Structure 1
Amino acid sequence: MALVPYTENALPALAKLHNSTATFHLAGREVLLNQDWRRSGVAAVVWDAAVVLALYLEALAPVELRGRPVIELGAGTGLVGIVAALLGARVTITDRAPALELLSANVRANVPADLRPGSAAVSELSWGSGLERYPAGGFDLVLGADIVYLEDTFPALLATLDHLCADAAAVLLACKIRYERDARFLALLRARFSVEEVHFDRPRDIHVYRAVRRAPRAEL
């Protein structure tokens, strides 16, 4: 469901969101993503946070992605998960059901077929719901770009992060700090994880935070 209505008279800074495609050169490839603001709103366009996080994974992240189990939350058009897969990770790329058609098409178009079965799987995930379908502690890295913006979702998002993260897992979140509620989410995250800012893209005003679990997972 679109959270922001489509309008033909977008501000100039938002005009790129109304293009039907967005092209990037990342992970040694041209990544061409379809966008569809008119049909699906915010879930169907590439936001700056996704671009910054993809660039961070490619050039700055002090982690080896090859062969590692990774999951992206709220993937939207899939840029971050696609780049992680192209860098060698085994990525589960997730979003809510309405976003999956466009997301799946973008993954098929940009991840070579010989890599796709093991490196890029698209899956439905609504935070806090149906988590038993995903292995507890089953991921070394959790990715999220611009997913911290609705305060009502914070408890479910935190529960999802807690479920997915292995003991030594890291969470990479790229976001703007727009409102006081965004800072409140970071405070909630710090109650469970050690959190540090690892990158700031000043022109885009995007922060990248790395969070690591404070203590080993409790035995169930």
Structure 2
Amino acid sequence: MKVMKLMQRASSLRIYEDGDFRRKDCYQTCGFTLEIGVNSHSGLGFGSTVWEAARGLCQYFEKEGIRFSDKKVIELGAGTGIVSILVALLGGDVTITDQPELLNGIERNVSFNIPSSFKPQVKVRALRWGLDNTLFPSDYDYILCSDIMYFDDSIPSILETLLHLSNERTIVYFASTMSYGQNMTREGHVTLSHYFQTELVCRYDVEDVNIYRMRLNTPTAGQLLNS
């Protein structure tokens, strides 16, 4: 496990007369400058801000030199889309998912950052955990999650979604700010560890962010969930 410094915002630009964003924040990572529109007053909840765990996951990919060329990737609860945008620039075939009302903002952030030659490998789709799972395949090489455990009642649906999307080769990178709903977040990771082999691969002490790498325990884990 490596203890690292969390990626910080490089600059910020105020945006006027924009129905989606009030500000465009810039982050520098993996040799790219990511321009991410945000609006904490949009009424769209957690998905309209770049949270600590998303920054941590981007920084982890940079420090570890992880590349996603020819890999099939899906992100759950992508929010602004910053993690998936970076992964697409690193060569991944990425499906970016969140609640339907957040997709417009994600698509705009994709347009800010992804060259036209890369856009065929980026898809933006709605995925409501525990409801839309069967609309997606189970052949992903990577599943990405950052700061998605906020409510106790979301943990079973997150687990159900992860189990559907995973196969025995899938790697899940799950980043969480542990101080957000501290007991709930820790209990959520304990629940996930019953079904996934879980390793803490990085920690950002100051921001209390953990990054876990997870693999499905067995190909029949989904059967255990329903038993």
Report if TM-score (shorter chain) is over 0.5: yes
**Which one-letter code corresponds to 2:64 in the other structure?**
L
**Which one-letter code corresponds to 1:59 in the other structure?**
K
Query: Quick one: structure 1 residues 182 and 219, their matched pair in 2 at CA, closer, same or farther if it must change by over 3 Å?
Result: closer
1:54 aligns with 2:58: yes
1:151 aligns with 2:155: no
CA distance in 2: counterparts of 1:23 and 1:74, whole angstroms: 21
CA distance in 1: counterparts of 2:68 and 2:144, whole angstroms: 12
Aligned residue among 7, 24, 34 for 1:31: 34
* Residues 27, 86 of structure 1: 8 Å contact kept: no
Shift of 1:219: 9.8
Calculate the TM-score normalised by the size of structure 2.
0.83
Unaligned runs of 5+ in 2: 1-11, 13-20
1:200 aligns with 2:216: no
**Which one-letter code corresponds to 1:167 in the other structure?**
E
**Which one-letter code corresponds to 2:123 in the other structure?**
A
1:86 aligns with 2:94: no
**Which one-letter code corresponds to 1:144 in the other structure?**
C
Shift of 1:216: 2.0
| Per-residue deviation, residues 65-116 of structure 1 (Å, max 9, x unmatched) | 1110010000000010001101111110000011111011001111111111
Shift of 1:217: 4.2
Shift of 1:58: 2.3
What is the 5 A alignment of 1:108-187?
A: 108-118=111-121, 120-135=122-137, 137-178=138-179, 179-187=182-190
Residue 104 of structure 1 corresponds to 107
CA distance in 2: counterparts of 1:200 and 1:71, whole angstroms: 23
Identity of aligned residues (%): 31
**Which one-letter code corresponds to 1:109 in the other structure?**
F
Query: Quick one: structure 1 residues 185 and 203, their matched pair in 2 at CA, closer, same or farther if it must change by over 3 Å?
Result: same
Aligned residue among 65, 74, 77 for 1:74: 77
Query: Quick one: structure 1 residues 218 and 145, their matched pair in 2 at CA, closer, same or farther if it must change by over 3 Å?
Result: closer
- Report 1 or 2 for greater relative contact order, CA contacts < 8 Å, sequence distance ≥ 6: 2
1:213 aligns with 2:203: no
| Per-residue deviation, residues 185-215 of structure 1 (Å, max 9, x unmatched) | 1111111011110000123221101111111
Calculate the TM-score normalised by the size of structure 1.
0.86
**Helix, strand or coil for the counterpart of 1:186?**
helix
**Helix, strand or coil for the counterpart of 2:102?**
helix
* Residues 58, 87 of structure 1: 8 Å contact kept: no
Shift of 1:44: 0.6
Residue 3 of structure 1 corresponds to none
**Helix, strand or coil for the counterpart of 2:91?**
coil
